[in-house]
Structure 1
């Protein structure tokens, strides 16, 4: 399981120019079963993604394909988590 932090860079003002491509990229992540949750970081600092069902290298390639990342609207940080315990609703993350 992975947490992806997308923090706005100095090029944040260009976000609207790439928003449609970014939203299409998010939709692909859900359609392909990789993204579980996507949302905004508080204080309008960027966004966050919970991802699974992928490898670190595949996720890095996917993140690099985000127009926000490619156009330096955000910088990306990927944090890998190995779940050890989960609520019954999230047991699928343990396998």
Structure 2
């Protein structure tokens, strides 16, 4: 699995302009089964995505993010192995 940390590089007005396209991109990634969870950081300096796929698939999806295409956000990717999960997330346990 992967944790993706997005960091905004432009003013929030530009992020807000791109947000509808970003939300459609997120929905498509969920429909493909690539993303597990996502949401904004607090304070609103970027976002976080939890993904479950191969690195090649993730890199391709992140390159298609409207935020990335517009140069509005950087994506920092950390791979991890979920050795323990809450019962509700047992399907994501890689132990």
After TM superposition, the score normalised by the length of structure 2 is 0.88
Question: Which residue number in structure 2 is paired with residue 50 of structure 1?
Answer: 50
Superposed, 1:57-72 pairs within 5 Å as 57-72=56-71
Question: What's the CA shift for 1:17?
Answer: 3.0
Superposed, 1:3-82 pairs within 5 Å as 3-10=3-10, 12-52=12-52, 54-82=53-81
Instruction: Give yes or no for contact 1:12–1:73 (8 Å, CA) kept in 2.
Output: no
Flag structure 1 segments of 5+ consecutive residues without an equivalent.
Answer: none
Runs of 4+ with >6 A deviation: none
- Deviation per CA, 1:22-75: give whole Å up to 9, x if none: 1110110111111111111111111111111x1011101101100101111110
Q: How many residues align?
A: 94
Flag structure 2 segments of 5+ consecutive residues without an equivalent.
Answer: none
CA RMSD of aligned residues (A): 1.5
